[in-house]
Amino acid sequence: MTPEPPLHAEQRRLEALASLNVLDSLPEPVFDAITATAAQACGMPIALVSLVDIDRQWFKSNVGLPGVEQTPRNVAFCDHAIRQEELLEIADARVDGRFASNPLVTGDPLIRFYAGAPIVLQGGERVGTVCVIDRQPRQLTEAQRAMLLGLARVASVALVDRQRQVAMHRELALSAARYRAIVEDQTEFIALTRPDGTLVFVNGAYARHVGLDSAQMIGRPLFEFVDPADHDTVREHVKSVAAAGTSLSASHRSRSASGDVRWVAWTSRALTEDADRAVLIHSVGRDITEQRSTDIELRAALREKEVLLKEVYHRVKNNLQLVQSLLSLQVRSSKDDSVRLALAESARRIRAMALVHEKLYQSGNLTEVSLDDYARDLLRQIDESAGASARGIRLVAAIEDRPCRLDSAIPFSLLVTELVFNALEHGFDDQQGGEIRVALSTRGQTPWLIVSDNGVGLRQGFDLGTAASMGLQLASALSIQLGGTLQAHSDGGAVFSTALPRL
């Protein structure tokens, strides 16, 4: 008995056969030429290119067995031939113990003689044979054996070549499908033009946009499909793209065959050859008419909003200043010192809020203020109203230049106001001269505010949690509103600090 192949080798052989993608394929001239040559050279009535599958042998080419496409593997002579490296030759199957009772010997096609040369792939896998069969006992000559082995090698090369061609055709089919998906079956416009503006390719989307067939546009100047008002703009764009090494974008008005004018946005890149000379310009475009109309409407609405917001900020600022003025009048007319103090504190808080709205009104950004610029103005106003400079006390700002929204800027301004006034009121007693420093910096990703002075420092046993001062209670609440907790300690003076993660 011919030994069974090892399981792993058989698995590898079957995988190699499957990878050829040849089983159950149509007849092909190269394999028919192999069987015809084998039959003629060996003088045999039957010649086959047989491929041995898992449970059958299938004939890629067949001479002498019309209508027979395959036989079961368990009766196939070729199954024995692929288990050895050299040609298998059976002079008379009737006297060979392996085949005497084989139905292909005892019945049609009455095989007596068989010779099969294994088809060996590059990896050593024997996937089938080139074989010849006769209905009477025979013996090959050395030349015939060499011929049969040579034809098996030809069959191996032909199978591998066929595999490459199938893969190439499959890739071409995929490329064609990708081309249709990328170029023809999309809604964006694609065009190829020469540097002089002559169209050499347009996809279906661009042709439909213009209202013509692609063939009707090719060979014509692209300027025929551009609104005359934009001819100079497009010429300059084409010239710039041809000279540039990167893609450039531009928008212009297009004109269809029916005279309809639409806006199109294009992104173009030059395709170059030797010496970076542009030979074609590849452009991708899309209709932006509706988007442009929407943008115009949005810009108009935004301008109206900006005008309205400026008016709102202006009026809020004026109203706050009016309230501040009224409170200042009340301060001057009141006889009660505690009332005068409460009115003055309210006035300065309103002044800080009014400054935020003034900054928003004056800036080009109606949603944010610059904290650096704002804090410096705030300290300037505090200095003027509290007479800090007259006492020799400098107010110093060290503020990061960061934007701040209105809902954060107002509590921040009030927090700074309370802490600075607290330092002016309690930090220096009767001493002349000193410094109050307002610093805002980032630690990690969190803003930190530190208001410090070089005055007398905190009194013995000072506890921020039990402080009776309305200003410090308000400062603690404002700190919490901005996501932090106000802390205080002495370090050559009083130091108040807090994280402001919501700033």
Residue where one domain finishes, among candidates 253, 287, 321? 287
Who contacts 134 (Cβ-Cβ below 8 Å, separation ≥6)? 44, 45, 46, 111, 112, 113
Residues 35 and 132 placed together within one structural domain of the fold: yes
* Preceding amide of 109 cis, omega within 30: yes
Residues 35 and 75 placed together within one structural domain of the fold: yes
Task: Let me know if residue 357 belongs to a domain.
Answer: yes
Question: What token pair was written down for 92?
Answer: 């008379």
Decide: 90 and 99 in contact? Cβ < 8 Å: yes
Residues 222 and 271 placed together within one structural domain of the fold: yes
Q: What is the mean pLDDT of residues 30-38?
A: 93
Average pLDDT, rounded, for the chain: 82
Rounded Cα distance between 156 and 152, Å, is 6
Task: Let me know if residue 328 belongs to a domain.
Answer: yes
Q: What is the mean pLDDT of residues 328-356?
A: 61
Residue 376, sorted as left (phi over 0), alpha (psi -120 to 50) or beta, turns out to be alpha
Residues 125 and 254 placed together within one structural domain of the fold: no
Rounded Cα distance between 106 and 94, Å, is 8
Question: What token pair was written down for 206?
Answer: 């661009």
Q: How does strand 393-399 pair with strand 434-443?
A: parallel
Residues 244 and 297 placed together within one structural domain of the fold: no
Q: What element of type H or E holds 248?
A: strand 248-255
Task: Let me know if residue 402 belongs to a domain.
Answer: yes
Who contacts 197 (Cβ-Cβ below 8 Å, separation ≥6)? 221, 222, 223, 234, 235, 238
- Is the predicted pLDDT of residue 68 greater than 50, yes or no? yes
Task: Let me know if residue 19 belongs to a domain.
Answer: yes
CATH number, domain of 476, equals 3.30.565.10
Which of 42 and 197 is assigned the larger pLDDT? Answer: 42
* Predicted confidence (pLDDT) per residue in 201-226, tens digit: 888 888 888 889 888 988 999 888 88
Residues 41 and 129 placed together within one structural domain of the fold: yes
Rounded Cα distance between 125 and 14, Å, is 9
Instruction: Centre a 10 Å sphere on the Cβ of residue 435 and count the other Cβ atoms it contains.
Output: 18
Q: How does strand 248-255 pair with strand 393-399?
A: unpaired
Rounded Cα distance between 87 and 331, Å, is 121
Question: What token pair was written down for 425?
Answer: 């009121």
Question: What token pair was written down for 365?
Answer: 């950004």
pLDDT band at residue 351 using 50, 70 and 90 as cut-offs: low
Q: What is the mean pLDDT of residues 61-67?
A: 93
Task: Let me know if residue 303 belongs to a domain.
Answer: yes
Residues 157 and 11 placed together within one structural domain of the fold: yes
Amino acid at 398: A
Sign of CA dihedral 308, 313, 318, 322: positive
Buried-state track 396-432, b at ≥16 Cβ within 10 A, e below 16: ebebeeeebeeebbbbbbbbbbbbbbbbbebbbeeee
Residues 423 and 448 placed together within one structural domain of the fold: yes
Residue where one domain finishes, among candidates 366, 399, 419? 366
Q: How many domains does the chain have?
A: 4
State residue 42 phi and psi, 5-degree precision: -95, -5
CATH number, domain of 136, equals 3.30.450.40
Residue where one domain finishes, among candidates 168, 199, 229? 168
Residues 111 and 25 placed together within one structural domain of the fold: yes
Q: What percent of the chain has pLDDT over 70?
A: 79
- For residue 106, what are the domain limits? 7-168
Largest distance between two CA atoms of the chain: 141
Residues 153 and 44 placed together within one structural domain of the fold: yes
Task: Let me know if residue 183 belongs to a domain.
Answer: no
Task: Let me know if residue 178 belongs to a domain.
Answer: no
Residues 224 and 100 placed together within one structural domain of the fold: no
* Predicted confidence (pLDDT) per residue in 124-140, tens digit: 999 999 999 999 999 99
CATH number, domain of 200, equals 3.30.450.20
Task: Let me know if residue 83 belongs to a domain.
Answer: yes
Residues 342 and 463 placed together within one structural domain of the fold: no
pLDDT band at residue 282 using 50, 70 and 90 as cut-offs: confident
Classify 169 as helix, strand or coil. Answer: helix
What's the predicted TM-score (pTM) here? Answer: 0.42
